[in-house]
Amino acid sequence: MEIKDFIEKFAEQFDDTELSEFKPETVFHELDEYSSLIALTIIGMIDEEYGVTIGAEDMSAAVTIEDLFNTVKSKM
């Protein structure tokens, strides 16, 4: 599991945010487009792509995209 690949899939769940905004250190909660609905699509993507179930609390606990990546990795 590569972080580059994870970020790509993470970004795919957004429609209006520039690709350049998505970096390992991006504080994703602060993206204008981020919403509870997007959080659910990210949870769905992680389940489908990595076979890992994460909860809303994991989403809240992760500050950056890299944090979330590490959460997923730790559960694989």
Partner 1 sequence: MEVNNPFSLCGKTILITGGAGGIGSAVARTCVELGARVVLTDIREDALSETLASLPESQTGEAHLAITADLTDAGKLSTLVDACPPLDGVVLNAGVMKLTLTQFITEEELTRIQKINLNAPILLTRSLLKKKKVSKGGSIVFTASAAGVYRVSMGNGIYATTKCGIDAFMRTVALEMGPKGIRCNSVNPGMVETALIGSFTEEQKEKEKQNYPLRRFAKPEDIAYGIAYLLSDASSFVTGTALKIDGGMTLG
Exposed e or buried b per residue across 13-40, where buried means at least 16 C-beta atoms within 10 angstroms of its C-beta: bbeebeeeebeeebebeebeebeeebbe
Residue 37 in the binding site for partner 1 (CB under 8 A)? yes
- Give the residue with the Cβ less far from partner 1, 35 or 73: 35
- Give the residue with the Cβ less far from partner 1, 19 or 61: 19
- Give the residue with the Cβ less far from partner 1, 36 or 74: 36
* Of 39, 28, 40, 34, nearest in space to 15 by CA: 34
**Shortest Å distance, C-beta 74 to partner 1:** 27
